[in-house]
Amino acid sequence: MTLSSLTKSPLMPSELTSTMKWVCLGYPFLRCGETFAKYAIYISWPVRNWMPMSIYGAGKLNNSLPWFKKVAISGKQKIDPQGIRRRMTILSAKLLKVFDQMYDVRVQQRKGKGFVTTSDVLDTHNIIEDKTVELNRRETIHFFFCQSRVRRNDREGKAGTGIRHCSLAVLGSCHQRNPRMHPPVPLLLPRRAGADAEIRGFTLPEGAQVLVNAWAIGRDPSIWEMPHCFIPERFLGSEIDVKGRDFELIPFGGGRRICPGLSLVLRMLHLMLGSLINCFDWKLEGGVKPETMNVEEKFGIALEKAKPLRAIAIPVPV
Ligand code: HEM
Protein backbone atom coordinates (compact mmCIF):
# COMPACT_ATOMS: atom_id res chain seq x y z
CA MET A 1 0.00 0.00 0.00
CA THR A 2 1.45 3.34 -0.94
CA LEU A 3 1.13 6.80 0.50
CA SER A 4 -1.09 7.91 -2.36
CA SER A 5 -3.61 5.15 -1.72
CA LEU A 6 -3.64 6.02 1.96
CA THR A 7 -4.54 9.60 1.19
CA LYS A 8 -7.65 8.40 -0.60
CA SER A 9 -8.95 6.92 2.64
CA PRO A 10 -11.98 8.90 3.83
CA LEU A 11 -10.51 8.91 7.33
CA MET A 12 -7.26 10.58 6.41
CA PRO A 13 -6.64 14.19 5.45
CA SER A 14 -6.60 14.02 1.67
CA GLU A 15 -3.73 16.49 1.33
CA LEU A 16 -1.35 14.38 3.40
CA THR A 17 2.25 14.93 2.37
CA SER A 18 5.56 13.62 3.49
CA THR A 19 6.22 16.78 5.50
CA MET A 20 3.66 15.56 8.01
CA LYS A 21 4.90 13.84 11.11
CA TRP A 22 2.90 11.08 12.62
CA VAL A 23 2.25 9.56 15.93
CA CYS A 24 0.36 6.34 15.77
CA LEU A 25 -1.35 4.81 18.72
CA GLY A 26 -3.98 2.29 19.41
CA TYR A 27 -3.01 -0.30 16.90
CA PRO A 28 -4.33 -3.62 18.12
CA PHE A 29 -0.95 -5.27 17.79
CA LEU A 30 -2.08 -8.66 19.03
CA ARG A 31 -4.49 -8.91 16.13
CA CYS A 32 -1.88 -9.33 13.47
CA GLY A 33 0.92 -10.72 15.59
CA GLU A 34 3.28 -7.79 15.13
CA THR A 35 6.40 -7.94 17.25
CA PHE A 36 6.84 -5.41 20.02
CA ALA A 37 9.81 -3.97 18.12
CA LYS A 38 7.50 -3.02 15.30
CA TYR A 39 4.90 -1.73 17.67
CA ALA A 40 7.56 0.39 19.32
CA ILE A 41 7.67 2.48 16.17
CA TYR A 42 4.22 3.66 16.95
CA ILE A 43 4.89 4.56 20.53
CA SER A 44 8.28 6.19 20.04
CA TRP A 45 6.83 9.47 18.77
CA PRO A 46 4.46 10.07 21.63
CA VAL A 47 7.02 9.10 24.22
CA ARG A 48 9.38 11.73 22.89
CA ASN A 49 6.94 14.44 21.97
CA TRP A 50 3.83 13.86 23.91
CA MET A 51 3.89 11.65 26.97
CA PRO A 52 5.89 14.03 29.17
CA MET A 53 3.39 16.75 28.42
CA SER A 54 0.13 14.91 28.66
CA ILE A 55 -2.18 15.04 31.61
CA TYR A 56 -5.50 14.18 30.20
CA GLY A 57 -7.56 14.22 27.05
CA ALA A 58 -5.69 13.05 24.02
CA GLY A 59 -3.26 11.24 26.31
CA LYS A 60 -5.77 8.78 27.65
CA LEU A 61 -4.60 5.19 27.59
CA ASN A 62 -8.21 4.18 27.07
CA ASN A 63 -8.22 6.06 23.77
CA SER A 64 -4.90 4.68 22.69
CA LEU A 65 -5.31 1.00 23.41
CA PRO A 66 -8.55 -0.28 21.90
CA TRP A 67 -8.61 -3.27 24.23
CA PHE A 68 -8.66 -0.99 27.26
CA LYS A 69 -11.46 1.05 25.75
CA LYS A 70 -13.57 -2.03 25.10
CA VAL A 71 -13.31 -3.17 28.69
CA ALA A 72 -14.08 0.31 29.94
CA ILE A 73 -17.24 0.59 27.89
CA SER A 74 -18.67 -2.91 28.06
CA GLY A 75 -17.78 -3.84 31.63
CA LYS A 76 -19.44 -2.35 34.67
CA GLN A 77 -16.08 -1.67 36.18
CA LYS A 78 -14.79 1.60 34.77
CA ILE A 79 -11.08 1.46 34.08
CA ASP A 80 -9.38 4.76 34.73
CA PRO A 81 -5.70 3.81 34.78
CA GLN A 82 -4.34 7.36 35.00
CA GLY A 83 -7.04 8.64 37.35
CA ILE A 84 -8.04 11.16 34.67
CA ARG A 85 -11.77 10.60 34.93
CA ARG A 86 -11.60 10.79 38.71
CA ARG A 87 -9.65 14.07 38.63
CA MET A 88 -11.90 15.57 35.99
CA THR A 89 -14.99 14.66 38.03
CA ILE A 90 -13.54 16.34 41.12
CA LEU A 91 -12.53 19.47 39.21
CA SER A 92 -15.86 19.75 37.38
CA ALA A 93 -17.72 19.45 40.69
CA LYS A 94 -15.57 22.23 42.15
CA LEU A 95 -16.26 24.51 39.22
CA LEU A 96 -20.00 23.83 39.33
CA LYS A 97 -19.93 24.68 43.05
CA VAL A 98 -18.32 28.04 42.32
CA PHE A 99 -21.04 28.86 39.81
CA ASP A 100 -23.68 27.64 42.23
CA GLN A 101 -22.42 30.11 44.83
CA MET A 102 -22.39 32.94 42.31
CA TYR A 103 -25.98 32.13 41.50
CA ASP A 104 -26.96 32.22 45.19
CA VAL A 105 -25.29 35.58 45.68
CA ARG A 106 -27.21 37.05 42.76
CA VAL A 107 -30.53 35.65 43.97
CA GLN A 108 -29.92 37.37 47.32
CA GLN A 109 -28.86 40.62 45.65
CA ARG A 110 -32.00 40.68 43.56
CA LYS A 111 -34.12 40.38 46.69
CA GLY A 112 -32.42 43.45 48.21
CA LYS A 113 -33.80 46.93 47.82
CA GLY A 114 -32.26 49.14 45.18
CA PHE A 115 -30.86 46.29 43.11
CA VAL A 116 -29.93 47.61 39.73
CA THR A 117 -29.80 45.10 36.93
CA THR A 118 -26.41 44.78 35.33
CA SER A 119 -27.65 43.07 32.19
CA ASP A 120 -24.98 40.45 32.61
CA VAL A 121 -25.51 36.78 31.85
CA LEU A 122 -27.00 36.02 35.25
CA ASP A 123 -29.55 38.76 34.83
CA THR A 124 -30.42 37.97 31.28
CA HIS A 125 -31.05 34.39 32.37
CA ASN A 126 -33.87 35.93 34.34
CA ILE A 127 -33.51 34.39 37.78
CA ILE A 128 -36.91 34.04 39.36
CA GLU A 129 -37.59 32.51 42.75
CA ASP A 130 -40.43 30.23 41.74
CA LYS A 131 -40.78 26.55 41.07
CA THR A 132 -38.87 26.75 37.81
CA VAL A 133 -35.85 28.19 39.60
CA GLU A 134 -34.07 24.85 39.94
CA LEU A 135 -34.19 24.29 36.20
CA ASN A 136 -32.99 27.83 35.56
CA ARG A 137 -30.20 27.38 38.04
CA ARG A 138 -28.98 24.14 36.48
CA GLU A 139 -29.13 25.51 32.97
CA THR A 140 -27.35 28.71 33.90
CA ILE A 141 -24.59 26.98 35.80
CA HIS A 142 -23.97 24.50 33.02
CA PHE A 143 -23.97 27.34 30.55
CA PHE A 144 -21.11 28.92 32.55
CA PHE A 145 -19.37 25.58 32.69
CA CYS A 146 -19.43 25.25 28.89
CA GLN A 147 -18.28 28.81 28.49
CA SER A 148 -15.30 28.32 30.77
CA ARG A 149 -14.29 25.22 28.82
CA VAL A 150 -14.46 27.07 25.53
CA ARG A 151 -12.42 29.86 27.06
CA ARG A 152 -9.81 27.40 28.26
CA ASN A 153 -9.64 25.96 24.74
CA ASP A 154 -8.91 29.33 23.27
CA ARG A 155 -6.57 30.53 25.98
CA GLU A 156 -3.16 31.28 24.60
CA GLY A 157 -0.27 33.54 25.65
CA LYS A 158 -0.51 36.18 22.99
CA ALA A 159 -0.21 39.39 24.97
CA GLY A 160 1.27 42.17 22.97
CA THR A 161 4.23 42.68 25.30
CA GLY A 162 6.66 44.95 23.61
CA ILE A 163 4.92 45.06 20.24
CA ARG A 164 2.66 48.07 20.66
CA HIS A 165 4.07 49.85 17.69
CA CYS A 166 4.11 46.95 15.33
CA SER A 167 2.61 47.33 11.88
CA LEU A 168 -0.63 45.69 10.84
CA ALA A 169 1.32 43.31 8.64
CA VAL A 170 3.49 42.17 11.53
CA LEU A 171 0.39 41.94 13.69
CA GLY A 172 -1.10 39.60 11.11
CA SER A 173 2.06 37.53 11.19
CA CYS A 174 1.91 37.40 14.99
CA HIS A 175 -1.57 36.10 15.48
CA GLN A 176 -1.84 34.01 12.35
CA ARG A 177 1.50 32.34 12.71
CA ASN A 178 2.20 32.42 16.44
CA PRO A 179 0.37 29.09 16.74
CA ARG A 180 3.39 27.61 14.97
CA MET A 181 5.17 27.37 18.31
CA HIS A 182 2.15 27.16 20.60
CA PRO A 183 -0.70 25.50 18.71
CA PRO A 184 -3.69 25.58 21.08
CA VAL A 185 -4.62 22.08 19.89
CA PRO A 186 -1.22 20.35 19.75
CA LEU A 187 -2.50 16.98 18.50
CA LEU A 188 -5.20 17.31 15.89
CA LEU A 189 -8.38 15.28 15.87
CA PRO A 190 -7.53 11.59 15.77
CA ARG A 191 -7.70 9.88 12.38
CA ARG A 192 -7.88 6.20 11.57
CA ALA A 193 -5.97 4.57 8.75
CA GLY A 194 -8.48 3.12 6.29
CA ALA A 195 -5.87 0.80 4.80
CA ASP A 196 -2.30 -0.39 5.36
CA ALA A 197 0.24 2.17 4.25
CA GLU A 198 3.96 2.71 4.09
CA ILE A 199 5.20 6.16 5.07
CA ARG A 200 8.92 6.86 4.96
CA GLY A 201 9.75 3.29 5.84
CA PHE A 202 7.19 3.08 8.63
CA THR A 203 4.34 0.65 8.31
CA LEU A 204 1.00 2.18 9.11
CA PRO A 205 -1.42 -0.69 9.56
CA GLU A 206 -5.08 -0.50 8.74
CA GLY A 207 -7.09 0.54 11.78
CA ALA A 208 -4.22 2.39 13.47
CA GLN A 209 -5.24 5.56 15.19
CA VAL A 210 -3.15 8.41 13.90
CA LEU A 211 -2.52 11.61 15.74
CA VAL A 212 -0.89 14.41 13.76
CA ASN A 213 1.47 16.29 16.02
CA ALA A 214 1.07 19.92 14.93
CA TRP A 215 3.22 20.99 17.87
CA ALA A 216 6.24 18.97 16.72
CA ILE A 217 5.78 20.01 13.09
CA GLY A 218 5.86 23.67 14.10
CA ARG A 219 9.21 23.20 15.84
CA ASP A 220 10.90 20.91 13.37
CA PRO A 221 14.38 22.32 12.61
CA SER A 222 14.35 20.63 9.20
CA ILE A 223 11.41 22.88 8.28
CA TRP A 224 11.96 26.03 10.34
CA GLU A 225 15.10 28.08 10.74
CA MET A 226 15.66 28.84 14.43
CA PRO A 227 12.39 27.06 15.30
CA HIS A 228 12.39 28.17 18.93
CA CYS A 229 12.58 31.90 18.14
CA PHE A 230 9.53 34.10 17.83
CA ILE A 231 10.26 36.04 14.64
CA PRO A 232 6.93 37.23 13.20
CA GLU A 233 8.80 38.85 10.32
CA ARG A 234 9.76 35.42 9.06
CA PHE A 235 6.31 35.27 7.47
CA LEU A 236 6.36 38.69 5.85
CA GLY A 237 6.08 38.17 2.12
CA SER A 238 5.69 34.43 2.69
CA GLU A 239 2.92 32.45 1.05
CA ILE A 240 2.61 30.09 4.01
CA ASP A 241 -0.60 30.45 6.00
CA VAL A 242 -2.66 28.53 8.54
CA LYS A 243 -5.54 27.64 6.26
CA GLY A 244 -4.64 23.99 5.94
CA ARG A 245 -2.79 24.13 2.63
CA ASP A 246 0.72 24.31 4.05
CA PHE A 247 1.38 21.25 6.11
CA GLU A 248 4.30 22.77 7.94
CA LEU A 249 1.80 25.10 9.67
CA ILE A 250 -1.46 23.42 10.60
CA PRO A 251 -2.64 24.81 13.97
CA PHE A 252 -6.23 24.58 12.70
CA GLY A 253 -5.77 21.15 11.15
CA GLY A 254 -6.50 20.36 7.54
CA GLY A 255 -8.67 18.34 5.21
CA ARG A 256 -12.32 17.68 5.84
CA ARG A 257 -11.98 18.02 9.62
CA ILE A 258 -10.29 21.42 9.50
CA CYS A 259 -11.44 23.79 12.24
CA PRO A 260 -14.68 25.41 11.05
CA GLY A 261 -14.00 28.35 13.40
CA LEU A 262 -10.89 29.32 11.42
CA SER A 263 -12.30 32.37 9.58
CA LEU A 264 -13.98 33.68 12.70
CA VAL A 265 -10.81 33.21 14.76
CA LEU A 266 -8.58 35.00 12.28
CA ARG A 267 -10.89 38.00 12.09
CA MET A 268 -11.53 38.19 15.82
CA LEU A 269 -7.89 37.76 16.80
CA HIS A 270 -6.83 40.55 14.50
CA LEU A 271 -9.46 42.83 15.98
CA MET A 272 -8.89 41.88 19.60
CA LEU A 273 -5.12 41.78 19.56
CA GLY A 274 -4.99 45.02 17.56
CA SER A 275 -7.34 46.75 20.05
CA LEU A 276 -5.41 45.49 23.07
CA ILE A 277 -2.13 46.69 21.65
CA ASN A 278 -3.61 49.98 20.50
CA CYS A 279 -5.40 50.90 23.71
CA PHE A 280 -2.86 49.76 26.28
CA ASP A 281 0.80 49.69 27.01
CA TRP A 282 1.78 46.34 28.44
CA LYS A 283 4.14 45.53 31.24
CA LEU A 284 5.09 42.22 32.74
CA GLU A 285 4.49 41.85 36.45
CA GLY A 286 7.28 41.60 39.03
CA GLY A 287 10.08 42.96 36.85
CA VAL A 288 9.93 39.95 34.52
CA LYS A 289 11.58 40.71 31.19
CA PRO A 290 10.14 39.51 27.86
CA GLU A 291 13.45 37.75 27.13
CA THR A 292 13.35 35.79 30.38
CA MET A 293 9.60 35.26 30.54
CA ASN A 294 8.60 31.67 31.19
CA VAL A 295 7.01 30.36 28.02
CA GLU A 296 6.85 26.72 29.05
CA GLU A 297 3.70 24.87 28.19
CA LYS A 298 1.42 22.47 29.96
CA PHE A 299 0.10 19.94 27.54
CA GLY A 300 -3.37 18.47 27.34
CA ILE A 301 -6.13 18.51 24.74
CA ALA A 302 -5.58 22.25 24.71
CA LEU A 303 -2.16 23.73 25.24
CA GLU A 304 -1.84 26.04 28.22
CA LYS A 305 0.98 28.12 29.60
CA ALA A 306 2.64 26.26 32.47
CA LYS A 307 2.73 29.54 34.39
CA PRO A 308 -0.07 32.00 33.61
CA LEU A 309 1.04 35.23 32.00
CA ARG A 310 0.52 38.15 34.36
CA ALA A 311 0.55 41.31 32.31
CA ILE A 312 -0.33 44.81 33.45
CA ALA A 313 -2.40 46.90 31.08
CA ILE A 314 -1.68 50.62 31.21
CA PRO A 315 -4.32 52.62 29.33
CA VAL A 316 -2.86 54.80 26.64
CA PRO A 317 -3.94 58.46 27.07
CA VAL A 318 -6.17 59.53 24.19
C1 HEM B 1 -7.43 29.92 18.18
C2 HEM B 1 -8.58 29.28 18.10
C3 HEM B 1 -8.77 27.87 17.56
C4 HEM B 1 -7.85 26.92 17.22
C5 HEM B 1 -6.35 27.00 17.28
C6 HEM B 1 -8.58 25.77 16.76
C7 HEM B 1 -8.01 24.60 16.34
C8 HEM B 1 -8.70 23.48 15.95
C9 HEM B 1 -8.09 22.25 15.51
C10 HEM B 1 -6.60 21.99 15.38
C11 HEM B 1 -9.08 21.40 15.21
C12 HEM B 1 -8.90 19.98 14.67
C13 HEM B 1 -8.74 20.05 13.14
C14 HEM B 1 -8.17 18.77 12.53
O15 HEM B 1 -7.95 17.80 13.23
O16 HEM B 1 -7.94 18.75 11.30
C17 HEM B 1 -10.34 22.07 15.48
C18 HEM B 1 -11.58 21.50 15.29
C19 HEM B 1 -12.75 22.17 15.51
N20 HEM B 1 -12.90 23.50 15.84
FE21 HEM B 1 -11.43 24.79 16.26
N22 HEM B 1 -9.93 26.04 16.83
C23 HEM B 1 -10.09 27.32 17.29
C24 HEM B 1 -11.28 28.01 17.46
C25 HEM B 1 -12.50 27.52 17.14
C26 HEM B 1 -13.74 28.28 17.16
C27 HEM B 1 -13.84 29.77 17.51
C28 HEM B 1 -14.73 27.43 16.81
C29 HEM B 1 -16.19 27.67 16.65
C30 HEM B 1 -16.74 28.83 16.36
C31 HEM B 1 -14.13 26.13 16.56
C32 HEM B 1 -14.81 25.00 16.21
C33 HEM B 1 -14.24 23.78 15.95
C34 HEM B 1 -14.99 22.56 15.66
C35 HEM B 1 -16.53 22.41 15.66
C36 HEM B 1 -14.06 21.55 15.39
C37 HEM B 1 -14.35 20.09 15.05
C38 HEM B 1 -14.45 19.91 13.55
C39 HEM B 1 -14.75 18.46 13.17
O40 HEM B 1 -14.95 17.64 14.05
O41 HEM B 1 -14.78 18.15 11.97
N42 HEM B 1 -12.79 26.23 16.76
N43 HEM B 1 -10.08 23.34 15.90
What was the ipTM of the complex prediction? 0.96
pLDDT at 252: 93
CA of 255 to the centre of ligand 1 (A): 12
pLDDT at 181: 86
Q: Which residue has the higher pLDDT, 97 or 4?
A: 97
Q: How is residue 233 annotated by DSSP?
A: G
Q: Is residue 259 over pLDDT 90?
A: yes
- Half-sphere exposure (CA, 13 Å, Cβ side) for 145? 19
pLDDT at 3: 33
Q: Is residue 7 over pLDDT 90?
A: no
Q: Which helix (H) or strand (E) holds 29?
A: helix 29-32
Q: What is the pLDDT of residues 98-114, one digit of tens each?
A: 878 888 888 888 888 88
Instruction: Give the Cα separation of 270 and 213 in Å (integer).
Output: 26
Give 143's pLDDT tier (boundaries 50, 70, 90).
low
Q: Which residue has the higher pLDDT, 270 or 40?
A: 270
State if residue 58 touches ligand 1 by the CB under 6 angstroms criterion: no
Instruction: Give the Cα separation of 130 and 315 in Å (integer).
Output: 44
State if residue 186 touches ligand 1 by the CB under 6 angstroms criterion: no
Q: Is residue 33 over pLDDT 70?
A: no
Nearest CA to ligand 1 atom 25: 261
pLDDT, mean of residues 209-223 = 90
pLDDT at 105: 84
Please report, for the chain, the start and end positions of each structural domain, with discontinuous segments joined by +: 3-81+186-218, 84-154, 158-185+223-318
With the most atoms of ligand 1 within 8 angstroms of its CB, the residue from 146, 211, 252, 257 to mutate is 252
Question: Which atom of ligand 1 sits closest to the CA of residue 255?
Answer: 16
CA of 78 to the centre of ligand 1 (A): 29
Nearest CA to ligand 1 atom 26: 261
pLDDT, mean of residues 232-246 = 83
Q: Quick one: how far is CA 18 from the chain centroid?
A: 24
CA of 260 to the centre of ligand 1 (A): 6
State if residue 218 touches ligand 1 by the CB under 6 angstroms criterion: no
Contact 241, 172 (CB under 8 A): no
CA of 263 to the centre of ligand 1 (A): 11
Q: Is residue 253 over pLDDT 90?
A: yes
> In terms of Cα–Cα distance, which of 64, 73, 68, 67 is closest to 209?
64
Q: Is 24 annotated as a binding residue?
A: no
